[in-house]
A and B are shown apart, each in its own frame.
Chain A
């Protein structure tokens, strides 16, 4: 497909030989990764495999001990918690970090995109969990990032809300075309959203899948589960 080509033309981020260690424990071990603009990459892995560490390094929140991260612009991040400022109205939250000129208009447009257009002056505490996460998404996208980092943003939502969020995210990413790195431990979520799924183990990329290719999702699911160490206890039909 065109993804590798795109990666050469317009990478949203290029990581080479990234290493991160806490004392003697190497969490990320000479990791290479390129994400093209418009490409949706999901990163799966067991707890403690280093996937959140990788995301935090890409976000510039943690220092790195070796290698290079090349990104044309600061990435935007959506965390597992919405992290809305409780003392600011929704539009003020969304426009956090924007230049004051035209901030309200841009926030209004972003909120409208996530279906909360009428609630510019509302307060975060009046929002449900899904709505708050939508505002967080608007706050990330209003920055027009070339790289969007999603750190298990739907993990705390109920199943139905999560499905709605999947649809919304897919739609928004298709429109804005940032490169996306989604850290998750939900195989279904990865298959539903990603162009490319990476499995991380021992601080490096252990496997790569492209679930979008015809007829692949079912096979991908089985392989992924096996790679993540989930045994098939159920008798096969």
Chain B
């Protein structure tokens, strides 16, 4: 536990401990950590500035790439007068529905296969075979089945979500320390208690990793599903704008996709920190 990594992850409370530590060393560490944070932001900020300058001076035409400031103004305009928020809501709803559907089924199957050799024999091979298909390759077939309505989009998201959750749930259950299961037997736990007290908590890190992966694939699936035959949503906004060469709107939708992806990932990480507080690799320093 060096103070360097302590300050890197927690820049704020460093000051509280300052008095107790040798001053010079402590201060150098804090400034160093801050400097690195500032340093890490230089490149992206510079990139945006260069982009802005290139766009304004006409080196890059607005049809190719609009200036960042223009994208910002478009965002504001669409949010206040246009349908941006509604489209965002539509997209989020699709993602949530697909995630809930695919996640629930995959989790249930994963639990079943994780616990029962019989279920594994019956289910696992088929799942692994279907998994070999890049799920986006199923899109034409999915359109034939569901048309281009909500069903197609939710199904595609559910499909993308299902595999990471299924695989990580079975894996997590399989990886529970057999010595702890043995302990459970010695302590006289019933099967139900064994599952609740030992197997599920032991599998949780793996399950949450699956959730995090599946959030990423959910998003990917949504982008692809929405660009085809959508009447609303962020993807519809992008395709609609493309027809009118409104690259500012297109760039805006890309940025929105990115932001939501980041938000989803931080939610997953927050979950990990809360639920895995006991785990040395996930919990905060204070436990």
Chain A contact residues, CB within 8 Å of chain B: 59-61, 74, 76-77, 79, 81, 83, 85-88, 96-97, 123-126, 139, 143
Contact = CB atoms under 8 A, between A and B. Distances in A.
A149 to B, nearest CB: 9
B47 to A, nearest CB: 42
B186 A61 contact: yes
B187 interface: yes
Nearest to A73: B188
Contact of A85 (B186, B198, B280): B198
Interface in B194-209: 197-198, 201-202, 204
Nearest to A82: B183
Contact of B278 (A74, A87, A96): A87
Closest 6 CB pairs of A and B: A97-B187, A87-B201, A83-B183, A87-B278, A77-B186, A97-B188
Contact of A81 (B179, B185, B189, B201): B179
A120 to B, nearest CB: 15
A140 to B, nearest CB: 9
A86 B189 contact: no
Contacts of B198: 85
B15 interface: no
A85 B185 CA distance: 14
Nearest to B202: A87
Contacts of B280: 125
B186 A76 contact: yes
Contact of A139 (B187, B189, B202, B278): B187
B34 interface: no
B182 interface: yes
B187 A125 contact: no
B174 to A, nearest CB: 18
* SS of A interface (majority): loop
Contacts of B189: 96-97
A123 to B, nearest CB: 6
B151 interface: no
B184 interface: yes
A156 B189 CA distance: 27
A86 B279 contact: yes
Nearest to A76: B186
* SS of B interface (majority): helix
Interface in B176-234: 179-180, 182-189, 193, 197-198, 201-202, 204
A128 to B, nearest CB: 15
A143 B278 contact: no
Interface string B244-287: 00000000000000000000000000000000101110000001
B187 A96 contact: yes
Contacts of A74: 186, 188
Contacts of B188: 74, 97, 143
A83 B198 CA distance: 11
A63 to B, nearest CB: 13
Nearest to B198: A85
B173 to A, nearest CB: 15
A61 B179 contact: no
Contacts of A61: 182, 185-186
Contacts of A86: 278-279
Contacts of A143: 187-188
Contacts of A85: 180, 197-198, 201
B240 to A, nearest CB: 49
Given A85-B198, A97-B188, A126 B183 contact: no
Contacts of B197: 85, 88, 96
A49 B88 CA distance: 70
Given A76-B186, A96-B184, A97-B189, A125 B278 contact: yes
Nearest to B197: A96
Nearest to B183: A83
B193 to A, nearest CB: 8
A82 B70 CA distance: 62
7 contacts: A60-B186, A83-B182, A83-B183, A85-B201, A96-B183, A123-B287, A124-B278
Contacts of A76: 186
Contacts of B202: 87
A86 B277 CA distance: 10
A138 to B, nearest CB: 12
Contacts of A124: 278
